[in-house]
Amino acid sequence: TKPAPTSNGADCHGDASETETCNEDACIQNIGACTKAIFGGSGSWSHIPFPGQLISVSKGTAGVWGITETDGNSYNIYKLNNEGETWNQIEGSVRHISSGSQVWVTKKTNHYIYKGNPWKRIDGRLEVLDVSESGNVWGINLHGEIYRYLNHQKKWKKILKHTCKTD
C-alpha cells in the first residue's frame, strides 16, 4: 500500500482528526468533515475533493463509486465522473456498494445492480457483497454464511456454512 500525504486537517473545516483507508490504487482520507479521494498506482497521486465525508469507496471497470452516511441506516450514492474531477450523486440510498464489472449495492432487505436509472432488484439478504471484474458476485449474510450469485440461474448459492462454535 502507498500512504497518502497528510495535512493534519489544514485543508478542511472541522477537527484535525484524520483517517485513511488505502490499497495499491487509491486512498480515502477523511479529515474532519471533508473527504479526499487520492488516486495513484503509477507513483503519482492526485486529490479529488468531495463535499462531505465518504465512508466507503469501491473502484472497478464500472467506475469509482462512494457512499456517504445519511442517518446511520442508509447512505447516499456518488460516482466519480470519467474525467476524475467531480462526484455526481446517483439516485438511491444503500448500505454497501461494490464496483467491479458492474455496480452492486445492498439495501436493508434486497440487493440491486446498477443498470442506469432505475436500479434492478436482485432478491437476497446479504450484509456485504463484492463484485469482481469478471462479474462474479460474492456476499456474506448476517450469520457469516458465504454466498455466490449464479447469474445464469438468477439465484444465490450458499458456498460456506458458518461453523464457528461459541462456548
Is residue 51 within 8 Å of 92, Cβ to Cβ?
no
Which cell goes with 79?
A: 460516482
Q: Is pLDDT larger for residue 54 or for residue 43?
A: 54
pLDDT of 151 > 70? The answer is: yes
Q: Residue 98: what pLDDT? A: 93
Is residue 39 within 8 Å of 14, Cβ to Cβ?
no
pLDDT of 83 > 60? The answer is: yes
C-alpha 102/C-alpha 114 separation (Å) is 7
Q: Residue 95: what pLDDT? A: 84
pLDDT of 16 > 90? The answer is: no
> CA quadruple 13, 39, 71, 143: dihedral positive or negative?
negative
Lowest mean pLDDT among 23-32, 102-111, 135-144: 23-32
